[in-house]
Structure 1
Amino acid sequence: MNRNLFLLGLLLPLFCNCSAPAGQSEPPAAGMFLTDSLKQIVSIDTVSIREVTTELSLNGRVTFNQEQVARVYPIFGGTVTEVHAETGDYVQKGAVLAVIRSGEVADYEKQLKDAGQQLLTARRAMEATKDMYASGVASERDMLQAKQDLSAAEAEEKRVKEVFSIYNLLGNSYYQVKSPVSGFIVNKNISKDMQIRSDQSEELFTVSGLEDVWIMADVYESDISKVHAGDHVEITTLAYRDKEFTGIIDKVYQVLNDESKTMSVRIKLQNKDYLLKPGMFTNVKVTCKASEEQMARVDSHSLVFENGKNYVVLVDGNNQLHVREVEIYKQLSKECYIRLGVSEGDRILNKNVLLVYNALNDDSK
């Protein structure tokens, strides 16, 4: 209240007096003008003609960006000997999440040893065949066979070594479970000394980046025709009541959930500072087309409601201020569509409007 009185006190001297400025023979008309001093406490909006929209409120929830989710399954069965990550940890791509001892790894170790021995034998056979071929004892066919045997032995050793690299086999029957992507551990189903199978359907870890998240919102059947891809949305959460996230609907799922009888829509959002956590509930306010009609649109802060009527404060070409009654077509949370009273290009106040309105009414009495 004290602040409003202070601002009102500033406004009173801003009414134009009857003394004429230097070089002007006639005094200006009485009234209130948009002076430099007044500009410091008000702001001006220009009326524009826009397509009429409406707002639809939906319930939503934060989910992982499925394009960034990686589920880690065991390659071989065995016993978990080490676990290096917990739910909520951030891990880099290639970080070791767990170590498992497995009899299947021992089989690959034997294959690698056998492949190495076969390669050594093939190389020796190749050298001996070369010597015999040079002495005329071995034929070209013998040389060709020796080369083929050596090539096959080299290919087999390379294959087994690639298996070791791909599956992160360590030797001594151990292998490492590594993170395929950088991100957060969002689910963990593994513990030390746990017995696992290679064919189990449950993943050991789920890793997901949270730089981007999806907002999945539910649209009731009666509102399906109102929502389209590309519609702008404003998202709020219980965790950040004073913060608003903006985006657009990028995908409409054209099927209904059998249980809830709702259709899902998706909004992709950048998640700066990881504020949005998967599982959070959200309120999604969709701005959607109401009709093909176009109408003057103004900021809702521009309106003054008194005695059942709505008014705006207009700034004319001479910067004089006038109270103008308007007829509202549709009122939204932040904007309003005006049927009568203003035209495209009109300048109106949209800050401290009530103070100026009261001052103008006091002057007219």
Structure 2
Amino acid sequence: MERKLFIKRMALMAILPSVFIAACSNEKKPEAGAVKAKQQTFTCPMHPQIIKHEMGTCPICGMDLVPFEKNSDDKALKVDTKRQALANITTIMIGENILSGGKELNGRLTVNPEQSSYISSRIAGRIEQLYVRETGVKVNKGQPLYKLYSEQLATLQQEYLMAVAQEKQFQGDKIERQIVASAKQKLLLYGQSESQVQQLVKTQKKDPYVVFYAAESGVVAELSVTQGQYVTEGNPILRLEGYGQLWVEADVYSSEAAKIKQGQKVRVVVAGWEDQPQEMTISFITPSLQSGTQLTQIRGSIPNPGNQWQPGLQANVFLPLGNKSKMLTLPVDAVIRDGKGMHVWIKTGKDSFEPRLVKTGTENDNQVEISEGLTNGDQVVVTGAYLLYSEYILKKGKNPVEGLK
């Protein structure tokens, strides 16, 4: 009996693997050609360069990540009516208008390099005495700046005394006179004054110390040495800045710069001194754009009597504009400007908005001319444009003007 039970168990164990294999083979296989679901990506609202494939937080600011359309090529942005009302998105139909008035540019006062003096060591030696030891100090012309000890200077003085003595022995000799003149010229070039040279001949005593004086009045803007320091010939000592005349630099878009000419008269108002407008002649227009912007600079100079203004103060430059008619214009805030260009938002449907590259022309405080990119009758967003710009970057993770022509 036990033998029969053992045989039955062995037979059952032999059958079980076959049954298991058959069951596995009957499992449902994925259909051929099935499309893998698109993987959702997430980004940070404040740092769109952060891209992850799962929900989480931004490693930079800690904000929760939000989903966005990473690979979408659709330039349209969908914003429903309710959200348009909340964001105060309004549009106007662009048309031809008359543009008049003047253009106000943001500017600033800067130092005029032509009013600066650079003082360097004329001879190698040690700074024995430094009479000016801090920046911001006013220096008058003829004021002593520093005293230098120089063995080289003492050698030159000895050469001069010997040349003078030699000339006395051979009075009237032309060559001796030339040697004396040459030795004296060296002393003058190395910082000795005429009175010091005469005193040297009178006392017949070498003096290795020489005091250097300010050739111009100004304010100490930079001090490059300390007392007791050894300097070489040509070593920078200090820099003086004169504020009697200041530059005015103002930023201007390249499209506007084409309409500005050198020699043009403009009005300048320094912030805080609105009752003292200045007339300035534009003397220079920078030929290249500032790095990463669409801005260039114009420059001129204004007098600064009594040094009442300091470099760094804000100044507004007013460009006169003649009346121009038959041009497409928009409110200034409708045009978004960044390092990649200028663009506006066009309403293409009830809930659809698209970016459009534009070029601008004449501009005043309120209106700007649209020279390229739009046609008469386009529905252009005039309020809420920056919200659409931010929403586009948030959802699509890229600048809306990328790929536009």
Is the partner of 1:164 in helix, strand or coil?
A: helix
Deviation at 1:184, TM superposition (A): 2.5
Contact map agreement 1:226 1:289 (CA 8 A) in 2: no
What's the counterpart of residue 154 of structure 1?
177
Once the two structures are TM-superposed, the CA of residue 172 in structure 1 deviates from its matched residue by: 2.1
CA deviation after TM superposition for structure 1 residue 71, in Å: 1.0
Partner residue of 1:207?
240
Contact 2:290 2:296 in 1 (8 A): no
User: Residue 245 in 1 paired to residue 292 in 2?
Assistant: no
| Shift in alpha-carbon separation, 1:291–1:71, aligned structure 2, 3 A | farther
What letter corresponds to residue 267 of structure 2 in structure 1?
V
What SS does the aligned partner of 2:228 have? coil
One-letter amino acid of the counterpart of residue 166, structure 2: Q
State the SS of the aligned residue for 2:141: coil
Q: Runs of 5+ in structure 2 lacking a partner?
A: 1-98, 197-205, 327-362, 366-405
Deviations for 1:237-272, whole angstroms, at most 9, x for unmatched residues? 3xx265543222331325114515532212211112
TM-score of the pair, normalised by structure 2: 0.48
Q: Which one of the candidate residues 195, 198, 209 is aligned to 2:233? A: 198
Whether 1:108 and 2:141 are equivalent positions in the alignment is: no
1:266 corresponds to which of 299, 310, 318: 299
* 1:259–1:273 Cα change, 3 Å: same
Amino acid at match of 1:164: L
Give CA deviations for 1:195-218 in whole Å, capped at 9, x if unaligned: 212143xx3222233221111222
CA contact under 8 A between 1:71 and 1:205: conserved in structure 2? yes
Q: 2:268 aligns with which of 227, 234, 237?
A: 234
Structure 1 counterpart of 2:329:
none
Taking the TM superposition and a 5 Å limit, the aligned residue runs for 1:78-157 are 78-85=125-132, 86-123=134-171, 147=172, 150-157=173-180
Distance 1:105 1:255 in 2: 48
Using the alignment, how far apart are the partners of 1:211 and 1:198 within structure 2? 31
d(CA) in 2 for partners of 1:286 and 1:244? Answer: 17
> Any conservation in 2 of the 1:233–1:247 contact (CA below 8 Å)?
yes
Structure 2 CA distance for partners of 1:55 and 1:199, relative to 1, 3 Å = same
Contact 2:253 2:296 survives alignment (8 Å): yes
**Identity value in percent:** 18
Q: In the superposition, relative to structure 1, how do residues 287 and 151 fare at CA in structure 2: closer, same or farther (>3 Å)?
A: same
Aligned equivalents of 1:243, 1:189: Cα separation in 2: 40
Q: Distance in 1 between matches of 2:213 and 2:319?
A: 41
Cα distance change of structure 1 residues 168 and 222 upon mapping to structure 2, 3 Å threshold: same
Alignment-derived partner of residue 187 in structure 2: 164
Decide which structure has the larger Cα Rg and report it.
Answer: 2
**Of 157, 166, 174, the match for 2:209:** 174
Q: Could you tell me whether the CA contact under 8 Å between 2:144 and 2:213 is conserved in 1? A: yes
CA RMSD of aligned residues (A): 3.1
Aligned to 2:335: none
Q: Read off the aligned partner of 1:178 and give its amino acid letter.
A: Y
Aligned equivalents of 2:323 and 2:292: distance in 1?
26
Q: 1:91 to 1:241 in 2, by over 3 A?
A: closer
Do 2:109 and 2:314's aligned partners in 1 also have CA atoms closer than 8 Å?
A: yes
Report the CA distance between 1:274 and its aligned residue: 1.1
**Count of matched residue positions in the alignment of Structure 1 and Structure 2:** 218
Contact 1:59 1:281 in 2 (8 A): yes
SS at the partner of 1:204?
A: strand
Give 3-state SS (helix, strand or coil) of 1:259's partner: coil
> 2:130 corresponds to which letter in structure 1?
V
2:320 equivalent among 263, 287, 292: 287
- Please, which runs of 5 or more residues in structure 1 have no aligned partner? 1-51, 124-146, 294-330, 334-365
Q: Counterparts of 2:277 and 2:130 in 1: how far apart (Å)?
A: 37
Query: Equivalent residue for 2:109?
Result: 62
Task: State whether residues 122 and 233 of structure 2, in contact with CA within 8 Å, keep that contact through their aligned partners in structure 1.
Answer: yes
1:247 and 1:268 in contact (8 A); partners too? no
CA distance in 2, matches of 1:263, 1:249: 17
Q: CA deviation at 1:192?
A: 0.9
Which amino acid is the alignment partner of residue 88 of structure 1? G
Partner residue in 1 for 2:58:
none
Q: Is the 8 A contact 1:228 1:249 kept in 2?
A: no
